[in-house]
Structure 1
Amino acid sequence: MKHFIVLIACVMATSAMAQKKKKQQDIASIKAMCGCYEVAFNFAETFAPDKEYEFHDNYRSSALEYVFPIEEKSDKIVLQHLLIVGDTMIIKHWRQDWLYENQDIYAFQKDNTWDYQQLPKSQVVGQWTQKVYQVDDGPRYEGSGSWVHIDGKNYWEAKADAPLPRREFSKRDDYNVMARINRQEITDYGWLHEQDNQKILRADGKDKLLAWEKGWNTYTKTEDSKCQVAKDWWSEYAAYWADVRTVWDELFASKETISIRGKVEDKVLFMQLFSLQDVLLEEESYNSEKAQLKIKETIQKYLKSDQRLVLK
């Protein structure tokens, strides 16, 4: 009996050590996405169940992008993306939060609406949730999956429903949900964001598939000096965007449905927050408490639900 107990203890200790090592590998892979990158965006519609469907043109674009950590804890890593346009202009781009064994998800439904869901604890053991946010730090899509490190491959993959991508949301109204399979793989040149997407029309509780789409976005590392202008920009604007995240986090903590208006006063939310950024930072001294109040007032105007941000 004593030998059996010792054996069980050894097995448990070995399992714990393996899990710890695996988590360290995961963290290294997430952080490997940081750096200065030449990015190539490529999308093509590949299949449609309706033979009469007219395929849309392939989409190609490129950019210089800086990816860097703005928060790092044992169970959470936050990576911010900044676009560099014409060597001098900076555009705050998307953000990806990585949470270990996270159970809290905001799942996209349709029409700029996200429902809170709690995943079973047994489902997320050893997994990382990737929470992707809009350029205004509002919700976009979230999915949970495991990092895989085997046979020289190093990738993470998960499914998630999402709004239309920015390249299409102002051009198309024939679908309202993009059901994404996201695969982020660390490569010898940097990393790859591979996507297998379904363009879906969701109505009356039913989904109609319009077309499949393939996405192939390559992040090729380049000299860090090319992204120095982005580093300088962030040092000036980081405090404001930290306050924006604080306000959104208050909303997420409510665990209630979030529904956002497309436009207010003929402007989308990110335009309002970008403008507010410039107004507040032009003042003689930046005041975080005042900034959060203004940010709350701005976001509140866009909430379609009954939620109310506390205006202190």
Structure 2
Amino acid sequence: MNKLFTTAILFSFCIAGNSQINKKEDVKAIKSMCGCYEVEFNFAETFQYSKDESYVPSETKYDRGLEWIELVEDQPNKLVLQHILIVNDTMLVKHWRQDWEFENTSFYQFYKDKSWKYQTLAKDDVKGQWTQRVFQVDDSPRYEGSASWVHVDGRHYWEDNTDAPLPRREQTIRKDYNVLNRTNVHEITKDGWIHDQDNVKLLRSENSTDVAIAKEKGTDYYKKVADSKCLAGQKYWKENAAMWKNVRDKWQTVFNRKLDLNLENRVNKKPLYSYLFDLKADTPKAETDKIIDTFVKR
């Protein structure tokens, strides 16, 4: 066999082997975000760019909670993590959800207000990367982006920049911007993990340049604690998982259209999460499908 040809084959095997090792490390890092965590939520505006002299920055936000993170789907190229927020051991909120998909090429990129643009990337552009998709409490989309997990010098982290809607904490108090450009870092630590954010508040309108209003720093600390502290969250998910799977499946049908997506903010003065949170665990799929359809603009 030609020596040069043999060397090329060995090199290809090495690359393939390293890719599989890296992917295993990626999966391990993503799965390590599951479990029971004491969480600190911290957000503060850092720089102001508004020309309005009467501009008032958002107050510094600090909050705490207990969160159960359930591994809902465990497939070779897709992992789904559902967050359940536990407040004062009595109040349970189906919180945000994060899906991780390996070498994904289809994206719903947030545009502004309640609209997302469907886009695709070439396979070479996402080779070795994981897409993180983040969803609202009602499983409607928030934002998504693709990047590689990095495992170096004992650190394990993933970093991406993408546009997103206003966070819930700002939706009712801020009308001067409609896009949050987010740099998200998920880093695994010895105590749990950190969601670090460097955000820019943007005002976006049709056919004009984005206007930066302010910058924001966010750091959420997830400290691992015994799973027994989150029994209430585990119980909630066990009782309600089937209904929420129906909701996820309906949204997937919507996403599979591969068209730009525009959603109603409210129907009959109620947001989508309000309708879904009022449902019983045994609500049939036909009913949840119908509710979601009323929010999807044709």
TM-score by length of 1: 0.92
SS at match of 2:210: strand
Which consecutive unaligned segments of at least 5 residues does structure 1 have? Answer: 307-312
Q: Look up the SS of the partner of 1:251 in the other structure.
A: helix
Runs (4+) of structure 1 exceeding 4 A deviation are none
Amino acid at match of 2:296: L
Structure 1 residue aligned with 2:49: 49
Q: How does 1:138-217 map to 2 (within 5 A)?
A: 138-205=140-207, 206-217=209-220
Out of 239, 252, 277, the position equivalent to 1:249 is 252
**Distance in 1 between the 2:3 and 2:211 partners?**
60
Superposed counterparts of 1:1-312, under 5 Å:
2-50=2-50, 52=53, 53-205=55-207, 206-276=209-279, 278=280, 281=281, 286=282, 291-304=284-297, 306=298
| 1:133-184 deviation line (CA, Å, top 9, x unaligned) | 0000010000101101101211000111110000011111000000000000
How many angstroms does 1:89 deviate by?
A: 2.4
Identify the range of structure 1 (4-13 vs 47-56) with the bigger mean alpha-carbon deviation: 47-56
- 1:241: how far off? 0.4
Q: Write the distance in 2 (CA, Å) between the matches of 1:170 and 1:57.
A: 13
Q: Offset at 1:78?
A: 0.4
1:101 Cα deviation from its structure 2 partner: 0.4
- Alignment partners' CA distance in 1, 2:28 and 2:296: 37
CA shift digits 1:18-74 (9 cap, x unpaired): 000000000000001011001000001111234644322111111100012000111
Rounded to whole Å, the distance in 1 between the matches of 2:267 and 2:35 is: 36
TM normalised by structure 2 equals 0.96
1:309 is matched with none
Deviation at residue 106 of structure 1 after TM alignment: 0.4
Supply the AA of the counterpart residue of 2:287.
K
Secondary structure class of the residue paired with 2:240: helix
Per-residue CA deviations over 1:283-310 (Å, capped at 9, x if unaligned) read xxx47xxx22111210111122x1xxxx
Amino acid paired to 2:175: D
Q: CA RMSD in A?
A: 1.2
Query: What fraction of aligned residue pairs are identical, expressed as a percent?
Result: 46
